[in-house]
Structure formats: C-alpha cells, structure tokens
Structure 1
Amino acid sequence: MNVRYRADIDGLRAVAVLPVVLFHAQLGFPGGFVGVDVFFVISGYLITSILLQSAGSDRFSLLDFYERRARRIFPALFAMIFATLLVGAWLMIPSDFEALGRSALATLLFVSNVLFFLEVGYFDVSAHLKPLMHTWSLAVEEQYYLIFPLVLHLVAQRFGRRAVVAALVAAAVISFGLMLATAGTRSAFFLLPARGWELALGALLAACPGLSPRSRRQAEALSLAGAVAVLAAIFALDDQTTFPGLATLLPCLGAAALISAGRGHAPLVSRALATAPFVWVGRLSYSLYLWHWPIIVFGAYGALSDPSLLEKGIAVGLSVLLSALSLKYIETPIRRGRVFSSRRAIFGGASVAFTAIAIVGAFTYVSNGVPGRMPQNVAQLLDWQDAAVDPSLDCDYSDDVRLQAHDICVAGAVGATPSFALVGDSHADAWAPGVFVAAQELGLSGYQIVLGGFRPYGEDLEARTALVVDALRALSVETVFLIGFWSAEATGFIYHSEVVETPRVIAGNDERLFRNLEMFVNDLPGKRFVIFDDNPVGRPLDRFSLARHWFARSGDSREGLERSDVAIYRTVYQPVLERLAAAHDNVRYVPAFVDALCREGSCPRVDPEIGALYRDGNHVSVAAAVSLVPLFRSLLNEALSAPSH
C-alpha cells in the first residue's frame, strides 16, 4: 500500500503550514489561513492514492486504513490535548477552562468543528481564548475519511474506476454548490458539506492520472500558475474576504496544479519545493499545526496588551522546537511501528489514552472549570454582580417590528407624559439607569430607543436608521439624548481585539462619522440633540480580562487605563462631535463621561465610593450610570426649559 514518495508534496505542506502559523502569530501573511485549504487538497490526493491501490479488490482492508490513520493522527494529537489541559488548569479561569474541557471532548470525538460552528466564528476575537480551535480542520478530515474509504471501495468494486471518478465529480459539485450558497458563513467554514469538495478535488487528482501535464513545458507553466495562485491567496486575501467563497478556488486550484505538475515531471517549482528546508518543514507540518495554536493562545493569555514582536517570535520558535520534539519522540516511533508495533497494541494504547483524556476533559467540563483553583481576589472579581435596575426604569432593546409600530418603551416617573428620548446603542443602554433615575426625581419620563450596535447611518444600518428617524418624528418630544460607541465608529477600535496602545485608525472614518451624524440631525430638524462623549473602553476595565491577568500573570494588580490611552481615541471622535455642534444650532456636545470616570492621570475600574464602574471592558455599571444623576438632571432641566426649537 505504499505510494511513491514525493518530496515536493512535503515542500507544499511547508507552504501550507508556515502561513497558517505566521497568520495566527500576527506576523503578516493576511491570507495565511488558506494553508488549511492547501492541506485539504494534499490530504485528498495522498489518502485516495493509497486507497485506490486496493479499492475494489480483495486486498482492501478498512482495519489497515484506520490503523495507518491511528498511527499518523492519534499520538501527537493526544499528547497535544493532554498538555493543553494541563496548562489550562494552571493558567485559565473557570469559564475558559470549562470551555477547554468541552472542546477537548469534542476534539477526541472529531466533532470540534461542529462545536466551534455553534460557539464562535474563526476570525472572532473569542477564538483567541480557545486553545483547541484549530482542531476543526482535523475533525473535517476525519469525518470525511470515516465515510469515504468504504464508499470508494464499494463503488470501485461494483462499478469500476470510471464510476469512482463520476461519484467524486458529483460529490465535489454538490459540495462546491453548498459552499457558494452559504459563502462566508460559519457553516461553510466549519462543516464538512461545504468543505468536502476540497478533499474531493485532491481525490480526483489521484483518480485521474491523465490530468497530469504531457510535456515538461506544460508542467512548468502549470506549476508556475499554481504557485502564483497559492501565493496570491496567502498575500491578497484577508479576514475581510468572504471565505469560504469563490476566493477559496485560488489556494485549492493552486495546490491541485502544483500536485499535478510535479507528477511525472520535475518543473522548477517542484524542484524548489523538494529542497531540504521545505521538506524538513513539511515533515514537521502536522506537529507544527497541532502545537502552534495552543502555544500562541497561552502565550497571550491574560495579557492586557497585544504581544510584542519579540513575544510573537518566541511563540513561533517554541512551536517549531516543540513540534520537532513531538515528531522525533512521539510521531515517528509510533508511525513506523517501533512503539506499539502491533495493531492490537496501537488500538489498545489509543483506547487508554482516549479514555484518560476524556475523563480529564469531562471532569473539567462538569465541574465548571474547577473554580476551587481560584485565589480569593480572582474569585471575588469573577463573582461580582451588577446592581439591579428598578423595573419602571428598565427598557428592553428596541427591534424593527416595534419601531415600525411606533411601540416605544417609556421609563421614568410612572404616569408622566414622555418629554425626551434616549437614543443609541448598548452604551446608551448602559447609561440609561442614570438618565431615567434623574427623570424620575424630576417627575419626568422619556422614551428609550436602543439597538445593539446602532450608530446613525452606520455600515449596513441605513434601513434601521430610517426606522429610528420615522419613530422619532412620530414622538411628540423635542429633546433627544444621543449616546454611542463613538470610539469604534471613528477609529475601528473594539477593545476585545485591539488595545489602546495600538489604535487601528481607519482613514476617513472620522469624516464618515460626521457625515452620518449630520444626515441624522438633518432628518430631524424639529429635534434638539444632546450628544455625549464615549466612556473609556479597554481590557483593563473588563473584569474577566483582569481575572485572567491576575490568575495567569500573578503580581500585576492594576485596574484601569491610563488617561493618555483613552485620549488616543477621544482625539479622533471628539473633533467630529464638536464640529457637528458648531455647525448646527440644535446640537449640543457634552464631553462628560470621560471626565466623570477618570482622574488626573488614570481611568480606574473601581471607585472607592461608587464601586465597580464597569460591568465589562465596554459598558459602565449601573452604579456608574447612577453616579451621574446630578449631571443628567441638570441637562434635562436645561433642555426642557429652553424655548422650542
């Protein structure tokens, strides 16, 4: 069952794995994630080449196939999962460790792709808290090979090789269609039905030797085109690309072209891939893929800022070192039969390891991440609960149906005719208790129109903005309090993924924010707007980020942001709001939140008199909102006593 060894395919593995590792380490390679697609094509080609040697004959043995897979996949995988659980017990807070236990069980059962499909997107920031996130691709492969060998054998046995090719073409077309129909979704990314065509493409190469170039010149041209396609995918695509989608053709067809061109000929690109450095990395690729992501996750776990260039380099270097050790002392001895030499031994050893890891993973999961590991200060931080809001002052988020019906929530003094409206996103909702306590003390009430992520005329929010405008026109109030996550809108900054020390300012966003707000104001000429600044945001204000920091990196107990860090973002959006107020008589800008929440040089997470000022790194607590009741009361008095606009 031996297939002719091709050094250029090992080299292609290196081209696949290095961009993945460097992309994950944030060391360039914006489309490095396509390396997984290259792996799928390689896998489909090699495994099908092996299977076709015996498929349809009496020599075919599923046990032989699965023994080879067990020797190849299990040893390093089980070692990585077990090591990850041990390090997780040492570093992770309970909620993260519980999730790790759950994902360890899913990885053992090769259904982690389904778990992560249900939990999180590949490019989402929370993926950086999941050390086994990368095992989704192994799950896709093993699900494929659970079914494929037997189906291949039965089709070949009954209908012959041509039927195998026809079945592969049909499966690839159906899977490709599903991928296009669900392009860019989590299901297309994580699940086998929309990924199977990539494995089937490699399988078709194995089943159709005639697809190889017939001359050296054709092989040179095909290999060059394949290399350009793969490199274009690695450097031209990024996390904003609709993926999987049509763009997935670039790495997959590129990999197929390189595999085909190197079959029977030795074009220049194939010879380059067959050189010692590429082959060495290629042979390391499976272990490197397994070990790099947990190292990157744990290396950054609990940090309150992004890793430095040196730290990223150390993570990659440690990944290579650990992978080399894994290859030499775990993978190779078992794959070559020097350890667990018999089939009974390998399956028995795998069963014992599987059971042991499953017990640890299950215990971690059912015990809610073993919270008894936490020291008292971390446990208190995690157990903190925000204050409850008086039901008469608490409104649900608005939705499109209620907006269309002008069914707007009213809060404040019971029975009072609404005299103002609070409009905005989740930041507005966080400040709402303070606004409506102030209204209640004045015997007033107001409307609340709050939608998650809402900014007037923000990206993809034109239709929703029109509903808000229409609702406000229908309300007999003049004063509108407008609160929003201006930091994100003006700079592209979201505290989970970027830290204040490294702002990601997007050119033109400030001008776009001004234009959008001006359109909103112009749509409502009869209203008087009071627009507030944004509250500080950042990981050091988030209790979960702080808990990770305290537990994983004990000794640094800082709570809060430097005021200069907050100013980085405020200096981008504040001129926009000031300019808007200067250009419109019915707009007033009130820069109150940062001044209220920050001291001379810092913006603390906890105030000794008020308590915790933030419920997470993005939203203020109820106590913080209520602490500004005097300000809101004064603003309401001023606004409602002013002459009609």
Structure 2
Amino acid sequence: MNRSYSIDTYRGLGVSLVIWTHAGLPWAPGAYITIDGFFLISGYLVTRSFLGLLDKLGADGSDRSPLTLYRVAGLKFLDARVRRILLPLFVTILLTLAVGWLLLLPGDLNDLADAALMSVLLSGNMHAAATGDYFEVAVLAEPLLHTWSLALEEQFYLLSMLIMAVLVLVPVRWAFWLVVLGGAVASLTTAQIYSTEPDLSGASYYLFVTRVWEFLIGVALAPLMARGWPAGRLGRVLTGDGAMILGWGLVIASVLLLTPASPSPGLISVPAMFGVCLIILAEPRGAWLSRAMQWKPMLYAGRNVYGIYLFHFPVIVYLTYAEPPWGAWTGPIAFVVAYVLAVALGAATELPFRRWRQPRFRTIVALDAVLVAAIFGLAGVIWQTGGAPERMPEAAQRAYLGKFLVNPERARCMEGELTRDGYSCAYGPVTERKVVLIGDSHSDALARPLSEAFRARGYMTVHYWSWECPPIGTQLHRLSMFSRTCERLSFEAHEQLLAMPGVDAVVYAALWPWYLGYGTGDMPRHLQRGPIGTPDAATLAVYQRDFMAQFRTTVSAIADRGLSVYIVAPVPIHAQSLPEQEALNTWYRPNSWKVPLNDALSRAAYDAQRGLFQQMIDGIADHPNVHILDPGPALCPSATCRAVADGMPLYYDDNHLNEQGAAAVVNSWFR
C-alpha cells in the first residue's frame, strides 16, 4: 500500500473538520488542531521532495559540486512551488474581492482589500495577527482570514531552502540536526509562553515563530524515513496497525477534547502532532484499516485539499454575512454549500493547470502577474473610494452613515485636557456653574447633547471617561478587575470633583450590565477579557457585591454634600451592529431575509438586561438628591425597543447610541 493514502486521508478528514467548524457546527471544538498537522505533513513532504531531487540529480552520472546540486535542486523546487501555489491563490483572492464588491459594506470591503494585499505579499498571517483572536473574528467579515495558514506554508518553504542549504553545503552532518531540532525546541518553547500569556495568545496562533516547530518535526522525519528508519523490531511497531490506530486516536481525541480556549499551539498540541507522525510512519496491513485509508471521498478531498481549503472560507463568510433566515439549518446548509462550491471552484482552478503539460515558467509568471495586477487594480479602486459606498442605494448609504455619527468632540476629549490618565475635557464656555459627567464610552455618546442641554441652562460640562471603565469612586483599585489607567482616572476624576468649585450636579453614565452582568451568575463581559482572567462564581459574587457597594457609597457621599446626582440607566443592548444590518436590509436582502431590527428586542428583555443595575440603585434611588435618567421611555416606548427611526439607526454599533439616538434620549429628559 502507498503510504500517501494515509496522508491524503488525514488531509481529507482535516479539511472536512475545518469546514465543519467554520460552518458553526458542534462536536469538533478542537478541529483547528488538524491545521497544525498540515504544517507537519508539509514539512515532511517538502523535505522528501527536495531530497528526491538531490538523489535524482546525483544519480545521473554527472560530477556536480554540492553547490551546483543545491542550486539546480533549489530552482526546480521553487519552480514546482510557484506552479502549484500562486495561481490558485491569486484566483481565489481576485474572486473573493469581486464577490466582496457585490456583498460587503464599505468598511468591510476596505478591510478585505487590505487583506488581499497582505495575502499577495505572502503575509496573511501577520494581517490576521493584527485582527486579534482567530476564534473571535472567524465568523466576521474576513473572507481571506484563512490565508494566514497559506502564508505560513509559503514562509516555511523559504525556510526549507535554508535548511536544505545546511544539509547539502555544510559538511558537518550534525549541523542539520542542530538547526532543525534546536529550532523546533526554541519554537515550541516560544509557542508555550505566548499561548499561555493573555496579551499574546491571540497573535500566537498565527506567528511564524510559534508555528515553525510543527513544520520542523516533519522536516526531521523526512531524512530518517528516506534512510529506511524505523527498522527492525521498532520499525515493525511504528509502522504497524497499532501505531496507525494510536495516531488516529491521538488526533481524534484532540479534536474532541481541545477547545478554542486551549493554549494552542503550545505543549497541548504535542499529542496530536505525535499522532500525525505515527500516521505518516505507519503502513496499514489489516484489510479493514487499509480500506479505511482508501475511502474515496476522503482521498479525493485530501488530494484536492489546497483548492478546497482556498475556497471554502470565503463561501462561508459570505453566506454568514447575508444572514439567510435558515435558523437551525444555517450550519448544515452552510457546510454543504461551502463544501460543494469549494470542491467545484478548486477543481475549476487547479485542473486546467494540472492538465496543461509543462507550461513554461515564464508563462506561469506572466499569468501570476496579470492576476496580481487585477487584484491591485480592484483593491486600489476600493482604497481610493473608501470602500466604494456608491455601490449601495441612497437609503443603504444613509443607514450606514449611522455608524459614523459619533461625538464630534471625542478626539479633542481623548487628549486628556484635565487628567494624566484616561480622557477628560470641558464642553461649552467657562462658567461658574458646572455639571460633571463621569463614565465610560456611553458617557461619550451622550456628552454633546447633554452638554448642549446644560449649556442652555447656564452650565458648563466637565467630562471624565475612558473605554470599558466604570469610574465609580476613588477606591476602584480595590476591586482589582480594571486596568491601572481606569483606576487612576476614577481616582483623579473624583478627587477633582470634590475640589472643584461651582459644581451643582454629577452625572454617571455607563453600560452597567457590561460590568455587573445581565443577571445573577452571568459573567460580565468586561471580566471575560479582563486583566486577571475569568473569575469563579464565588469571586464573581464578591466582585458584584463590592462594585455595587462602592458605587452606592460614592453616590451617597456626593448627594449628602448637597449635589444632585443623576445616574443614567443602561440603554437597550442589541444582538448586532445596527447600522450595518439596516444598510444590508435596504441594500440587497430580500424581504424574507431582512433582520427585524425594531422588533428584535422586547421591553421585557431590556428590563432583564438591567436587572442588576436596578439592584444596585435600589439602595440609593430614594435619596432626595439622586435621580435616575432612564432612556427606556424614548427607546422602548411600547412592547419592543426602537433601533431605527425613519431609516436611520439610533446606534453606531450594537450598544452605543449615535448622535441621533443620543439626541432623542436627551431631549426626552429635558422636555
């Protein structure tokens, strides 16, 4: 039996599992580990290919020097890689850009043009690393996100040229093993450190330095097998059915047991990589195992894995982007559609070049150049026009504009006019009477209409805020859940407030459920990605209790000084970014696919979102100087909550009011 059957079967199953999870289907949380195996197999096959070229050139009877052998073999190796890789990749990028022109909103199309450029430059992994955690952005509008792994493959191919130079040109044999094994150990060590460090774990998934150990294991395996290893009793064990079954068991166990939260690609990936090594080494002898390794659907997928992998992800992303109303069937349908289209497009892209008998290298390069020129041309138009918003009808452009209706004073306020940390500024002409506004980005959303309302009543507004920061008092640091910048801003804002003359009122505005949770036992979104990691239930309960107590203490102390304290209740939080959804609704979604934005959130669901906020203010709302500013009547006047008014979204994302929404809310308070 040909050992490539096992490799092709692994590739076929691996790409199938990857498509399965990208389609949002369950039961294979660790399917991403199969991509790690692709890197190992790539290292093995590339090295065997290079060694085969060297053997062939050395066996023709010519007396070539090692340098000549390396040069000739290297050119043939690069020729094969260019023929095999670049044309399908560039076709995929161009088609993805073209479909994106038809489907993507301007900001997403602009991002796609950036990704296309990085993919052409074989740096898709660096672009992906800049986007953040793979498992957070995989379902978003990143149709070329998957090219991170192809970029790494191409970088590994260039590395293999250097490794082969050491093997051929350095007379000391142990130099090759020093480079390969030393590099693998160093890379694995780096991967373990990066993948377990919260600030680095997202980027570590994509980086050359954290991934190359997998490729190098395959590189090390190739010359050993080329020399007949393993042999003897050990060889019978490592190449038998038992080893094959163990290898598959390790891979499948990793697929079932690992999760996106696992610190991959560190030590936790080693068992699966050992399993892949056994799959490469073993040669099934039993009839049933041989038949399993030659199952035609998996063999076909494995032998066409490149084209399938190239095309499946853009298909899934564009299906997800359009949001068809398929309910529970969305995942299965996306899997089938993506698989079928990926197979068809992959075959249409690759087969003509496979059957085109030995085209000249200059012809291949010319075709590559034409495709790259087309990619750059289309990307240039996208960049020049800011995502080509004119593709959309006027109503869709107007809805999309809601995304950009943010506080026009934000940039000035972010300079920190009054504080060393966080953001601070003053609104309106200097007057003796002042209102102090304190909060997070939701206070920024309300700042301009609030300051205008106060200005009309003879007040200037002093504003202190920061992103994802609830400045609730001078003792915020005692909670140990927020950044140092947030803690210092909270302290500084309240210290200045107490010393500031002429202050008549203080306004607190924040997305309180973000810090308290949406109900008892619910993990606040801030803590899910906070500086200390996700706390356990007991720690969460203590944190929520202490947060509420500190805020009550702060508010009571200010109110007891005779100042009016206004607490802004949280706005309704929606499931999706509203400008984008309304723009797509008015652009190309048929009526049956439109997302019902004004009916998506009920008043009862909104009341549930603010349950812990109500609990927090219950102890202070009865104070005569404490008042609650409730956006509910303006945003949820009936059984459902408004998200769009006259075709214009009231939010600039899923939870921040834009200028139109903020004005509507503030006007309802100052009638």
Which bracket does the TM-score occupy, shorter chain normalised?
A: 0.7 to 0.9
Give the gaps of 5 or more residues in structure 1: 496-505, 635-645
CA distance in 2, matches of 1:553, 1:347: 40
Residue 13 (structure 1) shift? 1.0
Of 380, 399, 415, 2:398 maps to 380
Q: Which amino acid is the alignment partner of residue 379 of structure 1? A: Q
Of 260, 265, 274, 1:253 maps to 274
CA distance in 2, matches of 1:48, 1:134: 24
Cross-structure match for 2:532: none
CA distance in 2, matches of 1:77, 1:507: 48
Cross-structure match for 2:466: 451
Of 85, 102, 105, 1:73 maps to 85
Matched, 1:600 2:634: no
Matched, 1:334 2:372: no
2:434–2:505 CA contact under 8 A, matched in 1: no
Post-superposition Cα deviations, 1:335-374, rounded to whole Å, max 9, x if no partner, equal 3x44555545544444444444444444444444444422
Q: Which amino acid is the alignment partner of residue 425 of structure 1? A: D
Cross-structure match for 2:5: 7
Cross-structure match for 2:557: 526
- Residues 450 and 149 from structure 1, CA distance in 2 versus in 1: closer, same or farther, beyond 3 angstroms? same
1:14–1:285 CA contact under 8 A, matched in 2: yes
2:400–2:579 CA contact under 8 A, matched in 1: yes
Which SS does the other structure have where 1:454 is aligned?
Answer: coil
Which SS does the other structure have where 1:138 is aligned?
Answer: helix
Residue 26 (structure 1) shift? 0.7
Matched, 1:616 2:653: yes
1:13–1:39 CA contact under 8 A, matched in 2: yes
CA distance in 2, matches of 1:273, 1:85: 37
Cross-structure match for 1:640: none
CA distance in 2, matches of 1:12, 1:353: 32
TM (norm. structure 1) is: 0.81
Of 289, 298, 317, 2:336 maps to 317
Residue 606 (structure 1) shift? 4.2
Matched, 1:281 2:307: no
CA distance in 2, matches of 1:479, 1:128: 42
- Residues 51 and 624 from structure 1, CA distance in 2 versus in 1: closer, same or farther, beyond 3 angstroms? same
Which SS does the other structure have where 2:641 is aligned?
Answer: strand
Of 437, 441, 444, 1:429 maps to 444
Q: Which amino acid is the alignment partner of residue 617 of structure 1? A: D
Which SS does the other structure have where 1:603 is aligned?
Answer: coil
- Residues 138 and 275 from structure 1, CA distance in 2 versus in 1: closer, same or farther, beyond 3 angstroms? same
- Residues 621 and 235 from structure 1, CA distance in 2 versus in 1: closer, same or farther, beyond 3 angstroms? same
2:185–2:213 CA contact under 8 A, matched in 1: yes
- Residues 320 and 573 from structure 1, CA distance in 2 versus in 1: closer, same or farther, beyond 3 angstroms? closer
- Residues 103 and 327 from structure 1, CA distance in 2 versus in 1: closer, same or farther, beyond 3 angstroms? closer
- Residues 44 and 309 from structure 1, CA distance in 2 versus in 1: closer, same or farther, beyond 3 angstroms? farther
2:96–2:143 CA contact under 8 A, matched in 1: yes
Of 239, 245, 248, 1:227 maps to 248
Residue 439 (structure 1) shift? 3.0
Q: Which moved more, 1:159-168 or 1:13-22?
A: 159-168
- Residues 403 and 343 from structure 1, CA distance in 2 versus in 1: closer, same or farther, beyond 3 angstroms? closer
Residue 544 (structure 1) shift? 2.9
CA distance in 2, matches of 1:377, 1:228: 55
Residue 322 (structure 1) shift? 2.4
Which SS does the other structure have where 1:461 is aligned?
Answer: coil
CA distance in 1, matches of 2:44, 2:158: 16
Cross-structure match for 2:562: none
Q: Which amino acid is the alignment partner of residue 452 of structure 1? A: W
Of 301, 316, 331, 2:321 maps to 301
CA distance in 2, matches of 1:460, 1:267: 59
- 1:493-504 paired onto structure 2 within 5 Å: none
Q: CA RMSD in A?
A: 4.1
CA distance in 1, matches of 2:418, 2:35: 40
Which SS does the other structure have where 1:580 is aligned?
Answer: helix
2:156–2:212 CA contact under 8 A, matched in 1: yes
- Residues 623 and 366 from structure 1, CA distance in 2 versus in 1: closer, same or farther, beyond 3 angstroms? closer
Residue 452 (structure 1) shift? 0.7
CA distance in 2, matches of 1:159, 1:393: 62
- Residues 214 and 559 from structure 1, CA distance in 2 versus in 1: closer, same or farther, beyond 3 angstroms? closer
Which SS does the other structure have where 1:202 is aligned?
Answer: helix
Q: Which moved more, 1:556-565 or 1:247-256?
A: 556-565
Q: Which amino acid is the alignment partner of residue 82 of structure 1? A: L
CA distance in 2, matches of 1:123, 1:15: 21
Q: Which moved more, 1:201-210 or 1:117-126?
A: 117-126
Q: Which moved more, 1:385-394 or 1:191-200?
A: 385-394
Cross-structure match for 1:200: 216
Residue 222 (structure 1) shift? 4.7
Post-superposition Cα deviations, 1:605-632, rounded to whole Å, max 9, x if no partner, equal 4445x97532333311234323444665
Of 505, 508, 533, 1:482 maps to 508
Of 14, 17, 20, 1:16 maps to 14
Give the gaps of 5 or more residues in structure 2: 59-63, 526-535, 560-564
- 1:33-52 paired onto structure 2 within 5 Å: 33-52=32-51
CA distance in 2, matches of 1:273, 1:292: 24
Identity value in percent: 24
- Count matched residues: 615
- Residues 68 and 508 from structure 1, CA distance in 2 versus in 1: closer, same or farther, beyond 3 angstroms? farther
Residue 430 (structure 1) shift? 0.8
2:465–2:489 CA contact under 8 A, matched in 1: no
- Residues 249 and 581 from structure 1, CA distance in 2 versus in 1: closer, same or farther, beyond 3 angstroms? same
- 1:527-606 paired onto structure 2 within 5 Å: 527-528=558-559, 530-538=566-574, 542-553=578-589, 561-562=597-598, 565-567=601-603, 569-584=605-620, 590=628, 592-606=630-644
2:568–2:629 CA contact under 8 A, matched in 1: yes
CA distance in 2, matches of 1:277, 1:519: 62
- Residues 242 and 550 from structure 1, CA distance in 2 versus in 1: closer, same or farther, beyond 3 angstroms? farther
2:163–2:179 CA contact under 8 A, matched in 1: no
Residue 487 (structure 1) shift? 4.6
- Residues 483 and 31 from structure 1, CA distance in 2 versus in 1: closer, same or farther, beyond 3 angstroms? farther
CA distance in 2, matches of 1:31, 1:263: 26
1:541–1:605 CA contact under 8 A, matched in 2: no
Q: Which amino acid is the alignment partner of residue 310 of structure 2? A: L
Residue 138 (structure 1) shift? 0.6
CA distance in 2, matches of 1:246, 1:539: 36
Of 453, 458, 479, 1:438 maps to 453
Q: Which amino acid is the alignment partner of residue 511 of structure 2? A: F
Of 130, 142, 153, 2:165 maps to 153
CA distance in 2, matches of 1:392, 1:444: 20
Q: Which amino acid is the alignment partner of residue 557 of structure 2? A: G
Cross-structure match for 2:76: 64
Post-superposition Cα deviations, 1:186-214, rounded to whole Å, max 9, x if no partner, equal 54222322221111111111133346881
2:598–2:640 CA contact under 8 A, matched in 1: yes
Cross-structure match for 1:637: none
CA distance in 1, matches of 2:610, 2:304: 51
CA distance in 1, matches of 2:417, 2:544: 25
Residue 43 (structure 1) shift? 0.8
1:386–1:622 CA contact under 8 A, matched in 2: no
Post-superposition Cα deviations, 1:225-273, rounded to whole Å, max 9, x if no partner, equal 543442343233333334444333343333234323x158779878744
Residue 128 (structure 1) shift? 2.0
1:117–1:187 CA contact under 8 A, matched in 2: yes
Q: Which amino acid is the alignment partner of residue 134 of structure 1? A: H
